[in-house]
Chains A and B, each alone.
Chain A
C-alpha cells in the first residue's frame, strides 16, 4: 500500500500526469511498478512486444538502432523526467528501437497491456492518455524529420 501511495505521488508530481483527473491517474497508478536497470541492460528490444512505457526517474537511456556486423547507433538519449515508449499504444504493439540503460536507471514502468484493456471500457482514460502521448509522438516525428534534413543537406548547420 505504501509503495502504491509513493508511486501515486510521484506520478501526480510529474508534468506528464500532473493535470490528469485523480480518477484516471489512479487507474494508471494501478498499472505501475518501480524498476531498476543496470548500465548496459535493455529496457526493451526492437521486435519485442511493446507492453510497457517508462517514466525515467534517474539516469539516462539510449535509444539505439542495431545493424548486423557493426555496433549499434544511438539516435537519441532519454533522460530524467522523460517518458519513453509509445509503441504500446499503436498496433501491432511491437518495439521499433532498442532502449538500453547508459547508467544506473530508476524508472516507473507502466503496464501498457493492462491499460489497453482498460481503454476499451474507459474512453476518458483513453482520451487523457492520447492527449499526452500524441504531442510526444508529434515532437519526435518532427525532430526526426529535421534531423534527416540536417544529416543529408550540406548547407545546413
Chain B
C-alpha cells in the first residue's frame, strides 16, 4: 500500500448529515469471537457508505430494544463493509447478539474524535491494549500499516485473561508474521506448559523495544487498567503529551446534547472518546467523575 491518503482519512471527522438519523444496515456476516464477543459485518441498505476514521464509534440500534455506543473495528479504507465487535453485556448488546445474517440494525454515526495519526509521523508507535480493547484500536492498526513508511518501530502489546480468549487471534498471528512489527501477547493465567508470556500488559511495555523519546503510544484499556499502562509508559520515558487514551461513559445522543457522558467539562461522545493524556491527566483519577 502506498502512502497516498484517501481524502476521507485526511479530513477532520465529518459529522453525520443528521446525527439523529438512523440508517438501516443489513448484517452480512456474523463471527462468534471469544469471551462473549461477536463481530457483525454490516452493509448499508441506502447504498451510501458510512465514512469514518479510526477510533470513532456508532450508535447501533437493536430495533425494539434500544441503542448502544459501539466502536468501529474494521478497516476504514473498506467502504463496503462496516465492522463492529461487540461484547454481550447489557440489554441492547444481548439483543444484538441474537440477530442473524440478513437481519437489519439501525446505525447512527460516526461520532467522536479519532485517534490522531499524522501527529505520530516519524515516531515509533506503541499500541497498548487488552481483551476487547483491541477492537477500537484495530482500525488504527490497519491505518498505521497502510502508512507504514511514515513510522519507525511499530509495537503491539496485547493482553487477555487466558489463552482461550485472545481476540482477533488470526490478525495477531498475521501481524506477528510481518518483519516490520513487534507483537507481544500476554495472558493473565495459562495451563501448565504454556510457553507464551504470562503476566500483565504493563510488563510488555517494559520489554518492548522502542525509542521512548520518539514514541507515540495509543492505549485502549478500561480506565482502571489504563492507569498502570500509563505508569509503565512514564517509567519508560514516554511523556503524557505523546500518550493517547480512550475513555468510556454511557453515551446516548452522540453529539453532546444529553450530558450522559459528561466528564468534568468534557462530553466524551464529541470531545472524546480519544484524549491526549496530558489534557485529562488532572481529572483522570478524580473519583466519581
Contact = CB atoms under 8 A, between A and B. Distances in A.
Interface in B161-216: 161, 188-200, 202-203, 207
A94 interface: no
A146 B191 contact: no
Interface stretch (A72-80, A84-92, A117-125): A72-80
B188 A71 contact: no
Interface string A100-139: 1011000000000000000000000000000000000000
Interface residues of B, number: 28
B197 A157 contact: no
B192 A156 contact: no
B192 A71 contact: yes
Chain A contact residues, majority secondary structure: mixed
20 contacts: A73-B190, A77-B196, A77-B197, A77-B199, A79-B197, A102-B195, A103-B195, A146-B224, A146-B228, A147-B188, A147-B200, A150-B130, A153-B224, A154-B89, A155-B222, A156-B222, A156-B225, A157-B131, A157-B133, A157-B221
A77 B222 CA distance: 24
Contacts of A32: none
B105 interface: no
A64 B188 CA distance: 12
A79 B129 CA distance: 21
B224 A62 contact: no
Contacts of A100: 192
Nearest to B223: A156
B191 A74 contact: yes
Contact of A157 (B193, B198, B199, B222): B222
A143 B225 contact: no
B202 A156 contact: no
Nearest to B135: A157
A77 B198 contact: yes
Interface string A60-76: 00111000000111111
A2 interface: no
A151 B192 contact: no
Given A103-B195, A156-B225, A157-B225, A74 B190 contact: yes
A63 B199 CA distance: 10
B161 A74 contact: no
Contacts of A75: 188-189, 198
B132 interface: yes
A155 B131 contact: no
Contacts of B225: 146, 149-150, 156-157
Contacts of A72: 191-192
B62 to A, nearest CB: 19
A154 B225 CA distance: 13
B196 to A, nearest CB: 8
A76 B130 CA distance: 17
B130 A157 contact: yes
B57 to A, nearest CB: 15
Given A155-B222, A157-B222, A71 B191 contact: yes
A130 B91 CA distance: 51
Contacts of B203: 143
Contacts of A142: 228
